A and B are shown apart, each in its own frame.
Chain A
Amino acid sequence: MSNDRDILLVSIFTFFTVLSWIFFEVVKTTRTTTVTTNVQQIITPLSPHIDTDVFTILESRTSY
């Protein structure tokens, strides 16, 4: 009688272990990005603004 209950408990624990393992694997899959590092570098935003004050400052300086 006790033997039956033990086997049932082992199978239940196995079931929940597998279930939680599947859950964490699925979470890991959803959290992991599929974008490669190279692509991430390529899509890095770029500012089109050029600081034109530099030209004004350089123009005010003297070239001997």
Chain B
Amino acid sequence: MEGQTQGRGERYHRYYRAIEPMLKTPRNRAYTAAVFSFLAVSLFGWYAIRPTIQTILFLRQEIEDKAIVNQKMEDKINTLIETQAAYESVRPQLNLIFEAIPPDPEALNVVTQLRNLAQNNGISFTNLTVSQVPLLGADIPATGSAKTTKAQEGNFSFSVVLNAPFSVVKSFVDGIAAMRRIITIDSVSIVPSQEAGVAEGGKLLRLVLKLTAYYTAGTQFKTL
């Protein structure tokens, strides 16, 4: 045991004796100092200086960002107060928007308005077909993918067929375009009517209109 320790000591002593002359030369000393300096700076730079600088910069950035967010929040609060005042000023007129685009489909209302328009023009429908309409705005059809449901949300189609002279047809179509309830005309088909006879305004024409009515289908306005 003692012999082993002594042998190890002699070995290390031999190493030291081999290194010692090398370290004594100024050139080797300079190289060693430079190498260890670079390595030490690299090591401490990576494990100590970098995290510290990062933390400092992150905190400074956070303070700047918070100040900007605070300023923008204050601006937005002021804007919201202005918006609330503007909204209150137009609140009495909001029913006009609800009439133009109601929250629910209100298909019956559309049909009634079209019937009244037709009566004003002295005509009646030959046929009026309304496609599937949800009774409540939030109803979702049982069939069809989610994408299809979203695409159909907020409008429904219907078609109107009537026989009338050209002047009445024009007046009826103009009336639809001037209706407060927003209705778009998808297609218009005018062909000579099969019905016999000539009306006051000229020869009878068969008008087939495909229309689309819109609604907000949700709480967009209700929540205001």
Enumerate chain A residues within 8 angstroms of B192, measured Cβ to Cβ. Answer: none
Compute how far the CA of A50 lies from the CA of B114 in the bound complex, rounded to whole angstroms.
Answer: 31
Chain A residue with Cβ nearest B41: A15
B178:A22 contact, CB within 8 angstroms: no
Please tell me if the beta carbons of A55 and B93 are within 8 angstroms of each other in the complex.
Answer: yes
A48 touches B79 (CB 8 A): yes
Out of B36, B42, B114, which one reaches A18, CB within 8 Å?
B42
- The residue from A34, A46, A52 contacting B80, defined by CB atoms under 8 A apart: A46
Which one of B46-54, B132-140, B155-163, B211-219 is at the A interface? B46-54
Q: Does B185 contact A (CB under 8 A)?
A: no
Q: How many residues of B contact A (CB 8 A)?
A: 51
Stretch at the interface among B58-66, B141-149, B199-207: B58-66
How many residue pairs bridge A and B at CB < 8 Å? 121
Q: Nearest B residue to A51 by beta-carbon distance? A: B90
B46 x A22 contact (CB < 8 A): yes
> Are A61's CB and B179's CB within 8 A?
yes
Question: Roughly how many angstroms separate A30 CA and B31 CA in the complex, as a whole number?
Answer: 37
List 8 additional A-B contacts (Cβ < 8 Å) besides A11-B39, A29-B61: A8-B35, A14-B42, A21-B46, A39-B69, A43-B69, A46-B80, A50-B90, A62-B179
B117 touches A35 (CB 8 A): no
B34 at the interface (CB under 8 A from A): yes
Say yes or no for B97: interface residue by CB 8 A criterion.
yes
Q: Number of A residues whose C-beta is below 8 Å from B?
A: 39
Q: Known contacts being A4-B31, A8-B34, A48-B86, is A25 close to B54, with CB within 8 Å?
A: yes
A34 to B58 Cα, complex, angstroms: 8
Is B75 part of the contact surface with A, judged by Cβ < 8 Å?
A: yes
Nearest Cβ in chain A — how far from B39, in angstroms? 5
Q: Can you identify 29 A-B contacts, CB atoms within 8 angstroms?
A: A4-B28, A4-B31, A8-B31, A8-B35, A12-B38, A21-B50, A22-B50, A25-B50, A26-B50, A26-B54, A26-B57, A33-B65, A34-B62, A35-B65, A39-B69, A45-B76, A46-B83, A48-B79, A48-B80, A48-B86, A49-B86, A54-B97, A55-B96, A58-B96, A61-B100, A62-B179, A63-B113, A63-B179, A64-B114
